Amino acid sequence: MEQLKEKIRREGIVLSDKVLKVDAFLNHQIDPRLMQQIGEEFARRFRDEGVTKIVTIEASGIAPAVMAGLELGVPVIFARKHQSLTLTDHLLTASVYSFTKQVESTIAISTHHLSANDRVLIIDDFLANGKAAKGLIALVQQAGASVAGLGIVIEKSFQAGRQELEAQGFRIESLARVRSLEGGQVQFVD
Ligand code: 5GP
């Protein structure tokens, strides 16, 4: 997606050979117009998949997921990373190792919002080693629902996530694929 790649080139900050900071438009300040275009693009790619729900993870997956949900006309559920007083029982849970925070945490979704009849599009901001995606897949599968595919805003193709998820048979659509961050430069796959 050219607008996204241009935004990354102009406003992304390479923090190390492995980490890209996009706080200017996705992870802290949010560019609503770009999020709308991202939502349209995910909807275009998954329109024929019979998606009934979108599942993402707080906080940075929510903006692109909501825009995709708006376009596809389906509800959006975000997995919570922190315990909530109002989310106490009937939980689907999975353990996820955070790439950026380097801690293991439990993510949770209420059983009330997913059923075995659902076909789920999973959306997240980044794909690195695939831990967050695998946690979300585990939640969807615990509900007996099926995974239509994964929509990723920025994939770092030099990490193992795509390879591992594709080996398990999942369809992955990434809107920007980063081949390398070496030397402080963002290089895209195509
Ligand atoms: P994974 O679970 O695939 O290893 O990493 C994906 C998760 O870690 C995403 O939910 C995202 O929040 C975070 N993440 C991974 N790599 C980056 C990165 O380069 N920059 C930022 N801002 N977040 C990242």
Ligand 1 centre and the CA of 129: distance in Å? 8
Q: Residue 180: which residues within 8 A CB-CB, separation 6 or more? A: 17, 158, 186, 187
Closest atom, ligand 1, to C-alpha of 132 = 2
The CATH number covering residue 78 comes to 3.40.50.2020
What local confidence, expressed as pLDDT, does residue 86 receive? 72
Q: What percent of the chain has pLDDT over 70?
A: 99
What local confidence, expressed as pLDDT, does residue 100 receive? 87
pLDDT digits (tens, 9 = 90+) for 35-55: 999 999 999 999 999 999 999
pLDDT digits (tens, 9 = 90+) for 20-33: 999 999 999 999 99
Longest CA span, the chain: 48
**Exposed/middle/buried for residue 19 (C-beta within 10 Å: 0-12, 13-18, 19+):** middle
Domain carrying residue 95:
2-82+90-188
pLDDT digits (tens, 9 = 90+) for 42-101: 999 999 999 999 999 999 999 999 999 999 999 999 999 987 767 677 999 999 999 888
Beta-bridge partners for 122: 55, 150
pLDDT digits (tens, 9 = 90+) for 125-183: 999 999 999 999 999 999 999 999 999 999 999 999 999 999 999 999 999 999 999 99
Per the structure, the count of domains in the chain is 1
Beta-bridge partners for 177: 155
159/128 Cα distance (integer angstroms):
5
Helices (H) and strands (E) in the chain, counts: 5, 10
pTM above the 0.95 mark? yes
187/15 Cα distance (integer angstroms):
14
User: Where does ligand 1 bind, in terms of residues with CB under 6 Å?
Assistant: 19-22, 27, 60, 99-100, 124-133, 161
* Ligand 1 pocket mutation pick from 23, 96, 99, 172 by most atoms within 8 angstroms of CB: 99
Closest atom, ligand 1, to C-alpha of 97 = 2
